[in-house]
Structure 1
Amino acid sequence: MRRLCRAAAVLLCLSASIGALPAQAETIRELASFAGVRDNQLVGYGLVVGLDSTGDQTTQAPFTTQSLANMLSQLGVTVPSGTNMQLRNVAAVMVTADLPPFARPGQRIDVVVSSIGNARSLRNGTLLMTPLKGVDGEIYAIAQGNLLVGGAAAAAGGSSVQVNHQASGRIARGATVEREVALALGGDDGRLELELREADFGTAQRVVNAINIEFRRVVASARNSRVIALDGPLEDDERVRFIARIESLRVTPGDAPARVVINSRTGSVVMNRAVTLGRAAVAHGNLSIVIDTENRVSQPPPLSGGQTVVVPDSKISIEQQPGTLRLVEGAELGEVVRALNALGVNAQDLMSILEALKAAGALRAELEVI
């Protein structure tokens, strides 16, 4: 009997633990990052050469010829003052890159090259040696190489076609790191900070509990809804092992707040699963105005001395479709989608309806317009 009770208790605990297992658990690596471990933005100004007559027009982009003259002077070539260099195979560009954390001199990173003049295309161009600087003005990398530009463009007989943007491109591993960014991972006392990507008190508490359970002692403590303080080891090797162990832990994040995002430029409407609709009635009718203009010719009688004139005849009609009241309600995302689809409106009308539902208090979600 005692064995049966013990087995039943184990089965009960197992079923409870299975029920408590997170259905959408994520690793802490996906939810947070350690303070100080981040990328650094780099930017530089350079020249792209070797273009097939698609570069900058020097009359409209004089800085291109100035930059070329300065570069040639540094290479020992003197350009007489007042020389009008009509170049179509050179383009002035801005070069950007992200310097990853712990990058060391000699490491290669990708760069993005974008035209700042009126160059039509950077295809088949070569970026000349361009220093990339950080926010402090110091040079951290040097970029150079052949550009890879996606898409295509063609023109003939006054007609042209273009696929994708031709005035920017990438150079894979196109820059060499020349200087590393000093990064102190934690203090001398071993204290580390873990920063959640999305601030949430519930998620912060779950992360703290998962870490303390893993190490079987109080290692983590939440400072607020985003920052979690960690008591880490002092030795570098032990600290790396400590961080790797924390990043591999799986935690179920807290439910995101109900939110509807509306993109007014593209007409996109996106809502998460927490969005619900209270009971409301919506009436929507389309209003269309049609203006039809027909030109008529007024011919004067013979020998009357009058002139033939064109008289426009415009007809304006207004049509308004009747809007009937429809009941909308939904406790789950699927019900919300079905209720809104039942209105039979397009994306632009749906934006107005959602704003009206929010104003009426029936849309239980944050409405964000971008």
Structure 2
Amino acid sequence: MSYFDHCATTPPYPEVVEAMAEVMTAYYGNPSSIHRVGVEAERLVSKARTLIAQLLDVGPNEILFTSGGTESNNLAVKGVAYRYESRGRHMITTELEHASVYEACKQLEARGFEVTYIRPDTNGIVRVEDINAALREDTVLVSVMHVNNEVGAVQPIREIGELLRNRPRTLFHVDAVQSFAKLAVSPADWGIDLLSVSAHKLRGPKGAGFLYRRQGVQLEPLLAGGGHEFGTRSGTENVPAIVGMAKALRMSMDRRETAAAHMRGLRRQLIAALDGVRGIELNGARDESRMAPHIVHISVPGLRSEVIVHALEREQLFISTKSACSSGETEPSRVLLAMGKDMAQASSGLRISLSAEHQPADIERLAASLTRMVEEMAKLL
């Protein structure tokens, strides 16, 4: 089996599974309990928080544990909107965002907020000048993802952060779910106020994530309860998942540069193999520095992408159509339409997402099978 859907989720490191099993067995206490069993669990949570903070070069009290990327994004977007409503009710995001940001903004619009959605260029990259033109005195939040989860386009986060440095009343949120531990990211240096990360995209457990919240930024809690996570996110901490996440993040960060270089090479190999194949169109920039190292996105106009996915599955090759959160939908890709693609292109997207464990032989096999299937299906049209 060759699994090429690492944007959807990743197999956990064996060391992560072992660590979580140990915690579940030996450290099952509630971290809020004051007795020894609870204190032991709380120490593990504290240690994980400190480790993650060190990886980001931020303070431990700036790390809020959540259930994953969707909750982190909702907490950032809605938490800012509701807490700073007196400053203004205008927000800026992009047409590229993950559903957990995009739909959160749609919900806010239904409650009277105004949202400006920035369209990207044909490569799937937003222009800083378009963000600048959309800014208003009542803009309370700008939310832009670092790496688009469909086509892999890298957004100019550092430049947007610089743009917003002199606007302290406008906060900057970045969805880093597809970039953290794959590309460099520095919240403090880049002027990021809020940053979302999910563990299962980095060989950690599902159901665990965190939100970096810069010291001084306040968020309206979305969950009422016991006031956990510095009063911002109530709910008993998932100690095994938090420990597993911290271990996975550290392991992934230790290997980041080597893994990125390896995947970049595999990406070049795959693009070279598919380039020129009749019926296959590459989406995203040709300049690889503007694209994530682990994502290749193509369209096969005239063919149904789900048919190709299932045909590859029969050969034990697993890719996806679009974001796993929306892959069951029959509508064309919102992201591809925003990039200016026509309906045929937007309805036939295929996402291939790589890992550091893949080898050139895996890419060769995938490219050969995909090319053969596209050519055979095209003959039937």
TM range, smaller chain? under 0.3
Name the structure where strand makes up a greater proportion of residues: 1
The structure having more radius of gyration, on CA atoms, is 1
TM-score where L is the length of structure 1: 0.20
Name the structure where helix makes up a greater proportion of residues: 2
TM-score where L is the length of structure 2: 0.19
